[in-house]
A and B are shown apart, each in its own frame.
Chain A
Amino acid sequence: MREHLLSMHDLSAEDVLRILDTAESFREVGTRVIKKVPALRGRTVVNLFYENSTRTRISFEVAAKRLSADVINFASGASSVSKGESLKDTALTLQAMGADAIVIRHASSGSPHQLTRWVRGHVLNAGDGTHEHPTQALLDLYTMRERLGRLEGLRVAVVGDVLHSRVARSLSFGLVKMGADVTLVGPATLIPPDAPAWGVEVSHDVDAVLPKLDVCYLLRVQTERQRLEYFPSVREYSRLFGLNRARVTLLPEGSLIMHPGPMNRGVEIDSDVADLPQSVIEDQVTNGIAVRMALLYLLLGGRSAAGEEGEGRG
């Protein structure tokens, strides 16, 4: 494993398997009465969140605490904080306080990468702009492997606003790396023009894709985009691409419905569809803790970088 987790491109297929296997052990810890192990005692993890987040921030916090690390939550509140100098100053302050790892979410793509140039600790990208969200992709891969027993050859559709979705990017890169077949589905305006270069298929007809799937992965419709005229109306989107009862019947037996949350019930997914047994959205959340524990453990469990001169790492 590298020193940081910024992008799915940082990981080899072997790294991904190691993370998922390690997460398996942490999943067991999550089933105990005492859901805590002393592995990262004395380490400090900072959650540096410049964007709102419920599940990712809490998931990282729970993960770090279950490893017995100390957790500092930094929320930038109403973001008058802009990138550049002020992010740097914040980073240097955290460094001076001895942060061993910084988990960062930021509206600007590339800010986690920027952070690595200023701090000696490990940096984990918890979502940067429209770039990547690798820990979400890893927990999704974990959930698929747990439920379906494999990743290679899985047929997965990622449906919705792929253009603005860091989740879609990280997940597609991860799935392609692990040998799955990915189809991006959505209105032409919301599919990135360079998508074919990712090694994925593109379709604008969800009904044609559903019968061939192992996993139907729905993205949140970012309704704020509608004002920018990426699609005519939320209702039309829902009619053309939303997963409703009728469409669920097109999915093969045993296939999964996934969503990274937060859901817009009634838009990209019908409310009763979200609660079907084949919808594994809650599993994704539970698995997220185990996967983030694995990442923190694998990054921080090696020889410490914080407080040392960077070069000595093997």
Chain B
Amino acid sequence: MSRILEADDVRRALTRIAHEIVEREDQSDVVLVGIADRGDHLALRLAGEIRGIVGRDVPVGALDITFYRDDIGLSAEAPEVHETRIPFDVSGRTVVLVDDVLFTGRTVRAAMDALTDLGRPSRIRLAVLVDRGHRELPIRADFVGKNVPTRRGDDVRVMVTELDGEDGAVVSEAEPATAGRGGAA
């Protein structure tokens, strides 16, 4: 297992993404929507950074995408459900989706479906802390904390203080050959 982001790296990455969002997006209609259950915490942090830059609050919501996943019924147990909490109308806004890791793109696809069931955003952007590659869908991030080359079977985990007691990210390498842990799910 190797560490790819320290707590300081996470903080710097979020500060930089916040600046990029401020530079590139029209601040009058930007809202942040984090994908549960790490992205929602990252979205709250980003909102804090943006407030520090522009001196104004950005609306923040949390989105659970479980019901929109394309793999329901493929694992033994139904996937665990989190809370969706979006206390504003997304219609006509620029919604920045926030997630911890961008991998196959399937989560983001589900998030866009979930979001468009809630309203009609004028634009949807994507901010991720780690982009680890291996996309299976034509999706890319607009704001990236760090690009990390990985092998497909590797396990990338982002930690946030709120849930894990510390900030950071680690990669566990895929075990060579045999039925590694990746296949067990």
Binding site for B on A (CB under 8 A): 1, 21-22, 24-25, 28-29, 32-34, 36-40, 43, 67, 297-304, 313-314
Contact = CB atoms under 8 A, between A and B. Distances in A.
Given A22-B81, A34-B117, A302 B67 contact: no
A82 to B, nearest CB: 36
20 contacts: A21-B81, A22-B81, A25-B81, A28-B83, A28-B85, A33-B119, A37-B67, A37-B117, A38-B67, A38-B113, A39-B66, A39-B68, A67-B67, A301-B72, A301-B73, A301-B77, A302-B77, A302-B78, A313-B76, A314-B76
Contacts of B117: 32, 34, 36-37
Nearest to B36: A25
A303 B72 contact: no
Contacts of B83: 24-25, 28
B99 interface: no
Interface in B86-135: 113-114, 117-119
B67 A29 contact: yes
Contacts of A34: 117-118
Contacts of A303: 73-76
Contacts of B119: 33
Nearest 9 Cβ contacts at the A-B interface = A301-B78, A314-B76, A37-B67, A39-B67, A25-B81, A34-B117, A22-B81, A298-B78, A302-B77
Given A29-B84, A302-B78, 5 more contacts: A24-B83, A25-B83, A38-B67, A39-B72, A302-B75
Main secondary structure of the interface of A (DSSP, over half): loop
B64 interface: yes
Interface of B: 64, 66-69, 72-79, 81-85, 113-114, 117-119
A25 B79 CA distance: 13
A43 B73 CA distance: 10
Contacts of A299: 78
B117 to A, nearest CB: 5
A19 to B, nearest CB: 11
Q: Which of B67, B69, B79, B82 has the most CB of A within 10 A?
A: B67
A44 to B, nearest CB: 13
Contact of B72 (A25, A29, A40): A40
A125 B84 CA distance: 29
B79 A301 contact: yes
Nearest to A313: B76
A25 to B, nearest CB: 5
B40 to A, nearest CB: 13
Contacts of A40: 72
Nearest to A37: B67
A37 B63 CA distance: 13
B65 to A, nearest CB: 10
Contact of A302 (B64, B69, B73): B73
B113 to A, nearest CB: 7
A22 B81 CA distance: 6
A124 to B, nearest CB: 15
A28 B84 contact: yes
A28 B75 CA distance: 25
A206 to B, nearest CB: 39
Nearest to A28: B84
B118 A32 contact: yes
Contacts of A38: 67-68, 113
Given A34-B117, A38-B113, A25 B64 contact: yes
Nearest to B70: A38
A276 B18 CA distance: 50
Contacts of B76: 302-303, 313-314
B135 to A, nearest CB: 22
A29 B83 CA distance: 10
A304 B84 contact: no
Contacts of B85: 28
Contact of A314 (B66, B69, B77, B118): B77
A285 B114 CA distance: 26
A302 B73 CA distance: 4
Nearest to B89: A33
A25 B84 contact: yes
A40 B78 CA distance: 11
A60 to B, nearest CB: 18
Q: Which of A21, A32, A37, A313 has the most CB of B within 10 A?
A: A37
Contacts of A33: 118-119
